[in-house]
Structure formats: structure tokens, C-alpha cells
Amino acid sequence: MDDLRVPPGRGAPHGLRVPAAELAEQFTRSSGPGGQGVNTTDSRVQLSLDLGTTTALDATQRERVLERLAGRLAGTVLTIEASEHRSQWRNRAAARQRLAEVLRDAVVPELPRRPTRPTRGSRLCRLEAKRRRADIKRSRQNPRFD
């Protein structure tokens, strides 16, 4: 198995390279296509990567990835499954491709929020609604005779 290469993007300008030794593959029986052959061949692939110990990510990337993928992790291990193809070889390629996409998307830093101001129309609409509400409440009061 070769190293996994993640193409360059916003969070990793030079791309990422995950050493093959850090990837763990497990093969199991698939429930996908393959007819009776799925009962005898281990074509489903589970590709795992421990994000807490990988050397592919620096400290800021690791922190960002662990935060973004928290719902998909078991501890710090990210597992990708692929069983959509009949052959184990194609499922391995699909799992590696999906892992690269997940990592590429997870290392992208969030854009800073640009503060905006309410538009003139929204301010006028808010003030008009407040005036209407005040009129309704004023009409409920007993008339005052001075």
C-alpha cells in the first residue's frame, strides 16, 4: 500500500502525505453488489487513520480536524468504509479517495466573519413594527380623563 496523498488546498498549501504505515485496512464481507460472490469474498474495506498520532498533520491542522470531525471519530480514529464496488481493489481505492476528501475538507480554516450593519430598510421596518405594537398596546389602555 502506498502513502495517501491529499492534494493542496486552503488549509494545506503543499498538500498532505499520510504514510502508509499509519493507515490500517480491514476487509470484511460486503452487503453490496456481487451476487453470491459476496458471501465468500471480503470485498468491503474499512480504512482507519488515528488523527491524534498521525505525522501528516501539524498541531493546528490536527486541532482543527479533531474539532471538525468529532462526530465521526471513535476516540481519535477516523474510519472510512467502502463497499459500493464488487472488487476489493476498487473499494480500497474508493476508501482512500474518500479519506483524502474528508481530510482535505477538514483542514480548511474558517473564514473570519465580516461584521455587517443593518440596512436602512431593515431599520425602518423594525421601527415601524415597534410603532404598530405600541399603538396596539396604547389602544388597550383605559382612556385617561384629566
| Per-residue confidence band for 34, with pLDDT thresholds at 50, 70 and 90 | low
Percent of the chain with pLDDT over 90: 53
Cα within 13 Å of Cα(98), Cβ side? 18
| Per-residue confidence band for 40, with pLDDT thresholds at 50, 70 and 90 | low
pLDDT number for residue 131: 98
Cα–Cα distance for residue pair 101/140, rounded to 1 Å: 61
| Per-residue confidence band for 13, with pLDDT thresholds at 50, 70 and 90 | confident
Q: At what angle do helices 59-68 and 88-106 cross, to 10 degrees?
A: 110
pLDDT number for residue 145: 75
pLDDT number for residue 143: 78
Q: Can you read off the three cell numbers belonging to residue 95?
A: 476508501
Tens-place pLDDT, residues 59-114: 999 999 999 999 998 999 999 999 888 888 999 999 999 999 999 999 998 889 99
Whether the model pTM is above 0.75? no
Length, in residues, of the chain: 146
Q: Can you read off the three cell numbers belonging to residue 45?
A: 474495506
Report DSSP letters for 64-101, one per residue. HHHHHTGGGEETTEEEEEE-SSSSHHHHHHHHHHHHHH
| Per-residue confidence band for 23, with pLDDT thresholds at 50, 70 and 90 | very high
Cβ count near 84 (within 10 Å): 13
CA-to-CA dists, residue 34 to 7, 40, 41, 84, 87, angstroms: 32, 10, 9, 10, 8
- Is a pLDDT exceeding 80 seen at residue 31? no
Q: Which domains does the chain have, with CATH numbers?
A: 4-106 (3.30.160.20)
